[in-house]
Amino acid sequence: MPRQDSFVFEVTQRCNHDCPHCYNAWKNPVDYPMGELPTGETLAMLGELLDETGASLVSLTGGEPMLRPDIYEMVDYLNARRVTVNLITNGGLLDDAAIARLSPGKISVFELPLLSVERSIHDRMSGKAGAFDRATAAMAELKLRRQRVVGVFVATKLNLPTWRETAELAVALGLDGVMFNRFNPGGAGVRNLEMLQASPAEVQAALDVAEEMSGRYELPISCSIAMPPCLFDTKRYKRLGFGFCAAGTARAYYTLDPLGNVRPCNHTPTILGNIRETTFEAMAGSPAMKDFMAARPAFCGGCRLEMECLGGCKAAAEAATGSAWHCDPFLTAFGEDAVRP
Amino acid sequence: MPYRAAGLLMALGGLVAVVGLILIGVDVHAAKQRGPRWKRRLLGAGLAVLGIWGAWFSASRPGSPFKPDVMCCYAPIPMEVGCAGNLRERLPLLEKLIAEAKLDPGVARTALAAAEMDLGRISMHPCSGPGMSAEEMTAIRDLARPIVERLRARLGEPVSLEEAPEWKALTGQWDDAAAALAVEPGAPAFDSQTQQRLADALERLLHADLPRLLGAGLLSEPEARLLELDLVRLSGAVRRARVSDRETTPTVASSGLPVPPAGESARDIGLRAESLKKILASGVAHPAALRRILASVRKDLEVLDRPASYDLMGATERAKAEQIRDAVKAEVEKLKNLLGPAPEDKRD
């Protein structure tokens, strides 16, 4: 029986924001199935996946998960199953009453966007006026209720100039950590590459700032989107954590959509099957999954880190080009600057 | 287990094995000549593999880009929680952002409240860790106090204890719980839902409202400690109370013998003595808080004044309890001078 540490559950595809960098799979130019199941069927589906995988951590995301009125029942169900729950939300609907219902102790980590210290930039990157004030209000209230909160900074051309002050805002709000994620094109992001894509030099300079901020303020900062080592010198950072593509391993974050479709990760539009119709074991061992795991771009051939790095984010490659075997769009854009490690 | 730790353990194990062999006097030269050759080679190969693994794992360092035990995309960030170690930077940054009008005033108030709460928490329950020695904590408090005062004034936050919503919540919920517990001995105090509600409210007072009042400078540290002791006792009483809709948990052997009332009161008063002395030495008190603290101390003194309370006590214990009682009584008399005139709508 396959064992998975965790999975991501996209509880709804609806969202009250319109982020230009949104990577949601259904925003790709593919015919992605849309819809939601009633509460009872949703809980049964979650139960099946937990029974089969033994997962101990579920990250609830969307769309905007707080748009579903039965989100509390899902959280209670997962808590009753002794599963750790993370909530990835834009914070727009996390008012005092919602926070009171989700605390204390029901959610392990709240992940909210902290896209800039500048209200106008955060709002623009959220596609919603007032998003900054609502997100910061939710973060401050969560901290007052002694919850663990992580701010997510998606590094783009628009907000990178404000990164240092944004990290300081995270400290001022008492956040427990920050995710510094380079913009990873997918979904709506593919259409906005020109506006959003920062250069490796700009991202590297921001990583220098992140290292400094992490040391100065004892602020944990992680970079969860894979950083190709031919474009970024990550070895010089002692304090930052760097992510990698875990697709297919026990630490993979297989993603379940609201209809029960399972994908190798939350960035890819590839559907392996539906948990209501087939077993997780069959999906994890399917030809589509094997192909996803094997995929790496020809660009990486001969690189000594080819099998570890796997060419950055193959889901982004798939979203941008239609094939996971193509280059991560970041490599496509800046491959000529690459220095083989 | 992290790879680095596993590698270090392996290396340590190997070192212990070598030292052990030397200590028990194993002749390595003779040993390598004994037994079948294939066994010796197999053992050698196994040790070599372990050595290489150990060296490789030990060499990997946190932050290495391909270290699968650190994290993967969208895995939760590793972090330490609750130490609030960056408060010395947090408050100046918050002040700067508020001055630059980067935050909505409502958000600024909540962020300040959270910072005050964390400041109070580390004062009441110091946490270990880098930069958190007693001197460091004093330095953080000294740095924080004027910033907190400036920010409270700027944001129009209450500057007296009696006006603070947290104090109103604290006194209101304290009184509610005490009133609910005031039933005939053995009678159920409330139903289990009310019990849960009261317990949750008291938890919030203990872990959020009370530390915030301390962090905001509206209570002194000894006052906060004394109020905390009372709230902990109240919280315990609520949790232990008999409820109307559930069977009482039967007493089991491990519950121990009943504590004599005098013993309990002497212990509780003993816990308070040092903080009471500190208030007396400072010569400053917040009358509303002190009134509540003294009311609680007086209840214990009343117990200690009743001879029947000592029934289950030995002579030595009794003498000690009476000594504590007399010392605290004297302190209470002196502390009365700090109360000032009693308010007209005094509740306690």
The stretch A269-277 carries a mean pLDDT of 96
Nearest Cα to B119, choosing from B94, B96, B156? B94
Which of the four pLDDT bands, split at 50, 70 and 90, describes residue B132?
low
With a CB-CB cutoff of 8 Å, which residues 258-277 of chain A face chain B? 265-266
- For residues B51 and B8, membership in a common domain is answered with yes
Query: Has residue B345 got a pLDDT over 60?
Result: no
Residue B346 is predicted with a pLDDT of 47
Residue B344 is predicted with a pLDDT of 59
Residue B69 is predicted with a pLDDT of 40
Query: Has residue B43 got a pLDDT over 60?
Result: yes
Q: Using the beta-carbon criterion (under 8 Å), do A174 and B81 form an inter-chain contact? A: no
Q: What is the pTM of this model?
A: 0.83
Q: Using the beta-carbon criterion (under 8 Å), do A241 and B93 form an inter-chain contact? A: no
Angle at A108 between CA A221 and CA A25, to 5 degrees: 70
Residue range(s) defining the domain that contains residue B108: 74-157
CB-based contact, A83 to chain B, within 8 Å: no
The stretch A237-257 carries a mean pLDDT of 86
Q: Which residue in B63, B94, B118 is closest to A239 by CB distance?
A: B63
Tokens of A216: 């100065």
- For residues B335 and B268, membership in a common domain is answered with yes
Longest dimension (CA), chain B: 97
Per-residue exposure over B38-61, b if at least 16 CB sit within 10 Å of its own CB, e if not: eeeeeeeeeeeeeeeebeebbebe
CB-based contact, A222 to chain B, within 8 Å: yes
- For residues B10 and B45, membership in a common domain is answered with yes
Q: Using the beta-carbon criterion (under 8 Å), do B114 and A174 form an inter-chain contact? A: yes
- For residues B151 and B86, membership in a common domain is answered with yes
CB-based contact, A253 to chain B, within 8 Å: yes
Query: Has residue A202 got a pLDDT over 90?
Result: yes
C-alpha A261/C-alpha A240 separation (Å) is: 34
Residue B63 is predicted with a pLDDT of 32
Measured in angstroms, the CA of A236 and the nearest CA of chain B are apart by 9
Nearest Cα to B281, choosing from B334, B326, B328, B330? B334
- For residues B52 and B81, membership in a common domain is answered with no
What does pLDDT average to over chain A? Answer: 93
Query: Has residue B348 got a pLDDT over 50?
Result: no
Which of the four pLDDT bands, split at 50, 70 and 90, describes residue B31?
low
Mean pLDDT lowest among A276-290, B66-80, B297-311:
B66-80
Q: Using the beta-carbon criterion (under 8 Å), do A243 and B103 form an inter-chain contact? A: no
Name chain B contacts of A92, Cβ cutoff 8 Å: none
| Residue B207 included in any domain | no
The stretch A127-138 carries a mean pLDDT of 98
Residue A30 is predicted with a pLDDT of 83
Last residue of a domain, one of B157, B177, B205: B157
The stretch B136-159 carries a mean pLDDT of 91
Give the B-side interface with A, CB within 8 Å. 61-66, 68, 70-81, 84-86, 89-90, 93-94, 96-97, 102-104, 106-107, 110-111, 113-115, 117-118, 130-131, 203, 207-208
Residue A218 is predicted with a pLDDT of 86
Q: Is B235 left (phi over 0), alpha (psi -120 to 50) or beta?
A: alpha
Residue B72 is predicted with a pLDDT of 46
C-alpha A52/C-alpha A45 separation (Å) is: 11
Which of the four pLDDT bands, split at 50, 70 and 90, describes residue B1?
very low
Residue A81 is predicted with a pLDDT of 97
CB-based contact, A183 to chain B, within 8 Å: no
Q: Using the beta-carbon criterion (under 8 Å), do B72 and A224 form an inter-chain contact? A: yes
CB-count burial class (<10 Å; 0-12, 13-18, 19+) for A42: buried
| Residue B69 included in any domain | no
Residue partners of B334: CB distance under 8 A and separation at least 6: B280
| Residue B229 included in any domain | no
Query: Has residue A154 got a pLDDT over 70?
Result: yes
Q: Using the beta-carbon criterion (under 8 Å), do A133 and B73 form an inter-chain contact? A: no
Per-residue exposure over B248-283, b if at least 16 CB sit within 10 Å of its own CB, e if not: eeeeeeeeeeeebbbbebbebbbebeebbbebbeee
- For residues B2 and B53, membership in a common domain is answered with yes
- For residues B53 and B84, membership in a common domain is answered with no
Residue A316 is predicted with a pLDDT of 92
Q: Report whether A145 contacts A103 (CB < 8 A).
A: yes
| Residue B227 included in any domain | no
Q: How many CB atoms lie within 10 A of CB B210?
A: 25
Q: How many CB atoms lie within 10 A of CB B162?
A: 14
- For residues B103 and B40, membership in a common domain is answered with no
Q: How many CB atoms lie within 10 A of CB A55?
A: 22
Residue with tokens 């129009």: B156
Q: Which residue in B74, B84, B89 is closest to A59 by CB distance?
A: B74
Residue B59 is predicted with a pLDDT of 47
Q: Which residue did the predictor score with more confidence, A48 or B75?
A: A48
Rounded to an integer, what is the distance from CA B104 to the centroid of its chain? 32
Distances (CA, A) of B291 to A184, A247, A305, B227, B269: 60, 63, 70, 11, 16
- For residues B310 and B267, membership in a common domain is answered with yes
Mean pLDDT lowest among A321-325, B70-74, B335-339:
B70-74
C-alpha B264/C-alpha B271 separation (Å) is: 11
Measured in angstroms, the CA of B258 and the nearest CA of chain A are apart by 34
Residue B68 is predicted with a pLDDT of 37
- For residues B13 and B49, membership in a common domain is answered with yes
Query: Has residue B42 got a pLDDT over 80?
Result: no
Nearest Cα to A133, choosing from A144, A123, A145? A123
Q: Note the pLDDT tens digit of each residue in B305-342.
A: 988 888 878 889 889 889 999 999 999 999 988 887 76
| Residue B220 included in any domain | no
Overall domain count for chain B? 3
The stretch A21-36 carries a mean pLDDT of 93
The stretch A282-292 carries a mean pLDDT of 94
Q: Report whether A256 contacts A49 (CB < 8 A).
A: yes
Nearest Cα to B334, choosing from B285, B270, B265, B269? B285
Which of the four pLDDT bands, split at 50, 70 and 90, describes residue A181?
very high
- For residues B80 and B153, membership in a common domain is answered with yes
| Residue B221 included in any domain | no
Query: Has residue A270 got a pLDDT over 90?
Result: yes
Q: Using the beta-carbon criterion (under 8 Å), do A241 and B77 form an inter-chain contact? A: yes
% residues pLDDT > 70 (chain A): 99
Last residue of a domain, one of B123, B157, B191: B157
| Residue B44 included in any domain | yes
The stretch A196-201 carries a mean pLDDT of 94
Last residue of a domain, one of B102, B126, B157: B157
- For residues B292 and B327, membership in a common domain is answered with yes
Q: Which residue did the predictor score with more confidence, A138 or A336?
A: A138
% residues pLDDT > 90 (chain A): 75
Q: Using the beta-carbon criterion (under 8 Å), do B73 and A243 form an inter-chain contact? A: yes
What does pLDDT average to over chain B? Answer: 81
Q: Report whether B113 contacts A185 (CB < 8 A).
A: no
Q: What is the DSSP letter of A256?
A: E
Residue B60 is predicted with a pLDDT of 41
Residue B129 is predicted with a pLDDT of 53
Name chain A contacts of B132, Cβ cutoff 8 Å: none
Which of the four pLDDT bands, split at 50, 70 and 90, describes residue A192?
very high
Q: Using the beta-carbon criterion (under 8 Å), do B73 and A227 form an inter-chain contact? A: no
Tokens of A274: 């539906």
The stretch A25-46 carries a mean pLDDT of 95
Nearest Cα to A110, choosing from A77, A72, A152? A152
Residue B185 is predicted with a pLDDT of 79
Per-residue exposure over B298-318, b if at least 16 CB sit within 10 Å of its own CB, e if not: eebbebbeeeebbeebeeeeb
| Residue B270 included in any domain | yes
Which of the four pLDDT bands, split at 50, 70 and 90, describes residue A307?
confident
